[in-house]
Structure 1
Amino acid sequence: MAEILLLPFGSAGDVFPFIWLGRLLMARGHRVRMITACLFEDNARKAGLEFIALGERDEFESMIRDPRIWQSGIGTKIVFEFAAKSVEPYLAAIESCGKVDLMLAPMTAFAGRLAREKHGIPLITVHLQPAVFLSVHETPLLLPSMRFFNRLPVWLKKLFFSLPNPADLFALPKVRRICLANGVKPPRGLWREWWDSPDGVLALFPEWFARPQPDWPENLLQWTFPLEDLAKEQALKPELQTFLAEGKAPVVFTPGSANVQAARFFAVAAEAVQRTGCRAVFVTREPGQVPPNLPASVLTVDYAPFSTLLKHAAVFVHHGGVGTLSQGLAAGVPQLIMAMAHDQPDNAARLERLGAGVGLSVREFKPERVTRELKRLMNSSQIRQAALECATKLRQGPSSEDVMKWIESRLK
């Protein structure tokens, strides 16, 4: 039995794939402990994982309640600053665990890499979205203004990527100070030196969603979407089951589990639903964001596992987080994305290339446009067929045995 630590960083879409990894590793006899924001303690414990809470609930909530986090560019600054702020409590939690044989963490959990350098613990970097691979061959769409970027020659892209990047601007100074305090040689750059662990890199999305590029790490295993949403622990609520059984397939709307700035999203959604004449399910943990006095054809719920709910959906409208998007692909349902920041524009662009949905910017997400796109998505046999083909590919994905053996080969 190995002692394994999971160090996710971020919202539910970032944490749930690590819960999936934890389930599989425990099934193989390993002891698995998760260290992340205390907001996810119930989720982890329901899945059977040991849990170490990181910080206070208010700290994570204050970050996601900052409206700037959903602004293109500025949101990246806030995330990296919070990631740097989290290094010391993360490291203290890791060191409290005693003997550790392996860690799995995203690149933003900088304490994982620090613990590797300080204590020699093997580390697997887990990338959940292709947007983190800043390839000069197929460059991710991180900002709307970067649409022209892939038309540039490789030499010019390399020159651009040699400039200071957000991780180094907003996180590196603090990370360097913490490294020095712990007797560890600090990196000259987080992206160039700490982004991918020398021990292994695990990409949890399939090749048909993002093809591997020549400048991706050599020690990489690309697998498929984990599709964890705690459906085993939480069934659809009776009220929702009744609603789904009483009429036509609804359009499902969600702005993401971490989005508490979604009043405009739901206002547009409500008007588009009225104009379209369809039924709808609004999913948000902040029901105060939803307009009052909605008709009986619209139901609001605080949570529903998408792997179950989307089997009943006509269209899926969301923010474009990779975990949410992958659930839509698995369900074979056409999708409409309102991409705001982070990996969302790139995920939306990849969805459009698959022909399985449409991506809009925040400015484009208006009642008239959303109404038009909903009608197209509900009536296009071509888009629906493309969505069903994605679902078929996911069902034919690789066995979890392969990824578990690869992870175990990295054990100390």
Structure 2
Amino acid sequence: MRPLLITVGSRGDVQPYLALALGLRAAGHRPLLAAPRRFAPLAAAHGVEFAPLNDEMLGLQDTVRGQGVRAAITAARSVKPMLRRMLDDQAALTAEPADVVIYHPKSLGGPSIAEKLGVPALAGLLVPLYLPTAAFPSPILPFRVPRGLNRASWRISGAVEAPYRRTVRGWRADKLGLRGTPRPVTALVEAGDVLHAWSPHLLPAPADWPAAARPTGFWSLPTGDWTPPERLARFLDDGDPPVYVGFGSSAGGDPGTLTATVLEAVRLTGRRAVLSTGWGALRPEGEPDGVLVIEEAPHEWLFPRVAVAVHHGGIGTVAAALRAGVPQVVRPFLGDQPFWAGHLHRLGVAPAPVTGRLTPDLLATAIEAAIPLAPAAVGLAARVTAEDGVATAIARITS
């Protein structure tokens, strides 16, 4: 088969699709991964055929992060032209045949590309977004609702696409020769054209979901033979397992204050720590005793070597920590992060989410509360790592 995989967004949106591409290639297929061009080196490192997509929107996010509301509003005016250029890059993918399209809904163009090629399309969802259930509210709902309104809360998913429908409709006509607006992703997912890429041990399929919607398990990259920088390897060898702190691309708008809070919390615990600056959520000006600052390291390699993982609750980081068997402390910022933070707490591998105004005492207390949860985290890891989410997804793709 010639599967076409289309995803956009941060590394957390791209890496699972890369893992799926690797699995497809190992199974004898010829996958093509289309993703923001900044991830071309990552794909090349794994030998995966790659089609670059315009990534100006990621650059825009980098520019305005932490600059305040006015900068964000000004930047928003540039989004639609950037979106159109990203869609134009996707249109170029129709120059060659494909047998199936697996797309991230953020790409917006996936269903239309499949329609143009005349092949099936499957939404590859890293979080539950489009299939209503009475079991829990939509993970992206920014407030709590009574249980009786759980199913109704999922209407918010359709609203996410609304601001872009006119742009997508014009692009379909201009670049693909297709008339009208594509079917909403909600309708496609409800028809069963979906792959849910998380572990059923984290979130099992609710009873009111069809069998086709059962989660496959995480799409995780193999750990490989990554060699750490000497300073990281030496730091890990020089003492007890440290606390990991990293918030990826999430931040509360003031990286300096967040960094100071984290460093003071670490000092209060008396523990060593590895701080990952990621996309700038943390901006330390130096390295206090017992603290090592890195830009990033593969979670699959690093997390088995730490005592606690403190993070924002993005599903990619959640998955890596679950597989590593490390207890977690989650400081959620937005989107689906509070949803996963609550689930981890209920599973007994994380203390209650750290919400509200973050203080050093609050974070230090949460870190200490996470330490005794290590046995539960190790037990859950044994079940999660026994799954092969990529193989399960491939079986559905090729059936």
Post-superposition offset of 1:362:
5.3
Separation of aligned partners in 1, 2:137 and 2:356: 24
Separation of aligned partners in 1, 2:195 and 2:281: 38
Aligned with 1:292 (options 285, 289, 299): 285
- Kindly provide the amino acid, as one letter, of the partner of residue 293 in structure 1: G
Distance 1:291 1:166, change over 3 A: same
1:37 — aligned with what? 36
TM-score by length of 2: 0.87
- Kindly provide the amino acid, as one letter, of the partner of residue 12 in structure 1: R
1:112 — aligned with what? 110
2:394 — aligned with what? 404
* 8 A contact 1:172–1:190 mirrored in 2: no
Separation of aligned partners in 1, 2:384 and 2:317: 14
Separation of aligned partners in 1, 2:281 and 2:249: 14
Post-superposition offset of 1:355:
1.2
| % same residue | 25
Separation of aligned partners in 1, 2:185 and 2:27: 33
- Kindly provide the amino acid, as one letter, of the partner of residue 287 in structure 2: L
Number of corresponding residues: 391
1:8 — aligned with what? 7
SS in 1 for 2:394: helix
Post-superposition offset of 1:332:
1.3
Separation of aligned partners in 1, 2:251 and 2:17: 21
1:16-35 equivalent positions in 2, closer than 5 A: 16-35=15-34
2:363 — aligned with what? 370
Separation of aligned partners in 2, 1:126 and 1:86: 22
Distance 1:140 1:84, change over 3 A: same
Separation of aligned partners in 2, 1:132 and 1:265: 33
- Kindly provide the amino acid, as one letter, of the partner of residue 305 in structure 1: P
Separation of aligned partners in 2, 1:118 and 1:102: 12
2:98 — aligned with what? 100
Distance 1:44 1:318, change over 3 A: same
1:346-385 equivalent positions in 2, closer than 5 A: 346-360=339-353, 363-378=356-371, 380=372, 383-385=373-375
1:187-336 equivalent positions in 2, closer than 5 A: 187=181, 190-194=184-188, 196=189, 198=191, 200-216=193-209, 219-228=212-221, 231-232=223-224, 234-257=226-249, 262-285=255-278, 289-336=282-329
Could you list the per-position Cα deviations for residues 109-149 of structure 1 after superposition, in whole angstroms to 9, with x for gaps in the alignment? 22110112222122121111235544343223434522xx2
Q: Which has the higher contact order (CA 8 A, sep 6+)?
A: 1
Post-superposition offset of 1:51:
1.2
Separation of aligned partners in 1, 2:354 and 2:369: 18
Post-superposition offset of 1:6:
1.3
SS in 2 for 1:219: helix
* 8 A contact 1:201–1:219 mirrored in 2: yes
SS in 2 for 1:299: strand
* 8 A contact 2:274–2:291 mirrored in 1: yes
Task: Please list every run of 5 or more consecutive structure 2 residues that lacks an aligned counterpart in the other structure.
Answer: none
SS in 1 for 2:331: strand
SS in 2 for 1:336: strand
1:138-217 equivalent positions in 2, closer than 5 A: 138-146=136-144, 149-153=145-149, 157-158=151-152, 161=154, 165-181=158-174, 182-187=176-181, 190-194=184-188, 196=189, 198=191, 200-216=193-209
Aligned with 2:380 (options 386, 390, 411): 390
Could you list the per-position Cα deviations for residues 137-185 of structure 1 after superposition, in whole angstroms to 9, with x for gaps in the alignment? 3223434522xx252256xx43x55579432432222223323444434
Which piece of structure 1 moves more, 205-214 or 367-376? 205-214
Post-superposition offset of 1:103:
1.5
Task: Please list every run of 5 or more consecutive structure 1 residues that lacks an aligned counterpart in the other structure.
Answer: none
Separation of aligned partners in 2, 1:163 and 1:276: 41
* 8 A contact 1:33–1:50 mirrored in 2: yes
Which piece of structure 1 moves more, 201-210 or 164-173? 164-173
Could you list the per-position Cα deviations for residues 316-373 of structure 1 after superposition, in whole angstroms to 9, with x for gaps in the alignment? 0001110101111111111111111121111111111111103535533221200111
* 8 A contact 2:3–2:100 mirrored in 1: yes
Which piece of structure 1 moves more, 352-361 or 104-113? 352-361
Distance 1:50 1:372, change over 3 A: same
- Kindly provide the amino acid, as one letter, of the partner of residue 174 in structure 1: T
Name the Cα RMSD after superposition.
3.1
SS in 1 for 2:123: strand
Separation of aligned partners in 1, 2:306 and 2:249: 19
Distance 1:95 1:141, change over 3 A: closer
* 8 A contact 1:11–1:258 mirrored in 2: no
Separation of aligned partners in 2, 1:222 and 1:55: 30
Post-superposition offset of 1:49:
0.6
Post-superposition offset of 1:34:
1.2
Post-superposition offset of 1:275:
1.4
